[in-house]
Chains A and B, each alone.
Chain A
Amino acid sequence: MKNESTIIDVPAESSSAMKGKAPLIGMAKDHTTSGSGGYKRGLSIFDFLLRLAAIIAASVAAATMFTSDETLPLFTQFLQFEAGYDDLPTFQFFVIAMSIVSGYLVLSLPISVVTIVRPLATAPRLLLLVLDTAALAFNMAAASSAAAISYLAHNGNQNTNWLPICQQFGDFCLKSSGAVVSSFVAVVFFTILVVLSGVALKRH
């Protein structure tokens, strides 16, 4: 038996047997630059770039909503003539949520860099996927609830006698709608990021 083992071992060290035995001998390092490591590294780089784009989208959304104040140059006894994001709790939630999402994206950049450097490691990618999914749901919640309120502000609701305020506060409506659109763009980026991580995780 030992005799056969010896015979197996010796050819294993020769160059002709290298390829078949490469994973055994720990030649896996070469795989990071060729074979499956190559396209995974490409996916990681694309992931990093998408994250940068999503940071811009999310922070623009938060900033636009935050600065969407408008004061009308007239006054009466009865109506409010200032409009700002803090008049609507949903928009307050939107600003806070988009700020949290932007902060999370900035903090996830180092992990993304780690997946570029070590394309075959699964732990960072799995962590990114789980956190990205949670951030996606959070982002989508903020974006769609703000969209519902924006829709109301533009159209009102006759059945409940909720008047559309956009007819008086044009700039405020414009900026808040722009912020909502920007955060939907961030949602699209997050979806692509999650799918990317899933594809890069799979065994090859």
Chain B
Amino acid sequence: MAKESTTIDVGEPSTVTKSSSHVVVDEKKKGFVAAAAGGGYKRGLAIFDFLLRLAAIGITIGASSVMFTAEETLPFFTQFLQFQAGYDDFPTFQFFVISIAIVASYLVLSLPFSIVSIVRPLAVAPRLILLISDTVILTLTSAAAAAAAAIVYLAHNGNANTNWLPICQQFGDFCQATSTAVVAASISVVFFILLIVISAVALKRH
């Protein structure tokens, strides 16, 4: 058997089709052939994945810090109304800051896995780990972004039926900062969806 395999390798290099290379795959040349064929585009996907992660780190750190520093104090006072607004006045915004910070640190911790999948494009385990953890983090990010968006919408528009007044009319800067943070978190949600799709495409058998 070994003798025929050797003959195939030497005798028909130019006419070896993809199906024949499956036979070659069973022999020592597996790694070499595979790196040339399937590994190329998977490595490209892994590099794109790494860059997306870096961009997502920047955006999530930005979102969390903008919300954290979104304070405003109005320069007048009466007996009845609050004249300071900060992220800690809203439990939803507190949840936002904490969870987006968790997402940012997860992204930093996932960078080594991304590098491993660049170096070993055909390894399945790192990509599968990234896909599963990215899915969980996607749900956390979209939860934080959507909940904060609901509160920001209320702050801008209020609700006549429940007698909730829009506070943005007094706290313009605060509203601006929180809206920016929500938009940034929504962009990071899009990044996460892209990351999951990249991992899935790179995982599939070729």
Say whether B147 faces chain A, with CB atoms less than 8 Å apart.
Answer: yes
Give the interface centre of A24, A134, A145, A161 by most chain B CB atoms within 10 Å. Answer: A145
Say whether B103 faces chain A, with CB atoms less than 8 Å apart.
Answer: no
B165 to chain A, nearest CB (A): 7
Which of chain B's residues have a CB closer than 8 A to the CB of A202? 124, 127-128, 203-205
A137 adjacent to B138 (CB under 8 Å): yes
Known contacts A191-B139, A197-B200, A203-B204; is-contact A140 B146 (Cβ 8 Å): yes
Known contacts A160-B89, A198-B203; is-contact A133 B22 (Cβ 8 Å): no
The size class of the interface chain A forms with chain B is 35 or more
CA distance A197 to B22 in the complex (A): 26
Partner of B164, one of A162, A194, A199: A162
Say whether A106 faces chain B, with CB atoms less than 8 Å apart.
Answer: no
Say whether A108 faces chain B, with CB atoms less than 8 Å apart.
Answer: no
CA distance A125 to B204 in the complex (A): 9
Which of chain B's residues have a CB closer than 8 A to the CB of A5? 7, 11-12
Interface string of A119-139 (1 = CB under 8 A from B): 010100110011001101100
Residue ID in chain B nearest A204 by CB atoms:
B205
Say whether A113 faces chain B, with CB atoms less than 8 Å apart.
Answer: no
Say whether B116 faces chain A, with CB atoms less than 8 Å apart.
Answer: no
A4 adjacent to B135 (CB under 8 Å): no
CA distance A199 to B192 in the complex (A): 18
B4 adjacent to A8 (CB under 8 Å): yes
A-B interface pairs (CB < 8 A), number? 169
Known contacts A80-B162, A152-B154, A198-B200; is-contact A160 B167 (Cβ 8 Å): yes
Which of chain A's residues have a CB closer than 8 A to the CB of B26? 20
Say whether A77 faces chain B, with CB atoms less than 8 Å apart.
Answer: no
Say whether B48 faces chain A, with CB atoms less than 8 Å apart.
Answer: no
Residue ID in chain B nearest A195 by CB atoms:
B132
CA distance A83 to B206 in the complex (A): 55
Residue ID in chain B nearest A197 by CB atoms:
B200
- Interface residue ranges of A44-100 to B (CB < 8 Å): 79-80, 83, 87-90
CA distance A147 to B201 in the complex (A): 33
* Interface residues of B, dominant DSSP: helix
Give the interface centre of A122, A126, A140, A143 by most chain B CB atoms within 10 Å. Answer: A140
Partner of B145, one of A141, A149, A152: A141
B11 adjacent to A136 (CB under 8 Å): no
Say whether A15 faces chain B, with CB atoms less than 8 Å apart.
Answer: no
Which of chain B's residues have a CB closer than 8 A to the CB of A20? 1, 23, 26
CA distance A152 to B151 in the complex (A): 9
Partner of B4, one of A7, A133, A134, A140: A7
CA distance A155 to B206 in the complex (A): 54
**Which residues does B use to contact A, with CB under 8 Å?**
1, 4, 7-8, 11-12, 19-20, 22-23, 26, 81-82, 85, 89-92, 124, 127-128, 131-132, 135-136, 138-139, 142-151, 153-155, 157, 159, 161-165, 167, 189, 192-193, 196-197, 199-201, 203-206
4 smallest beta-carbon distances between A and B, as pairs: A145-B150, A141-B146, A148-B147, A144-B143
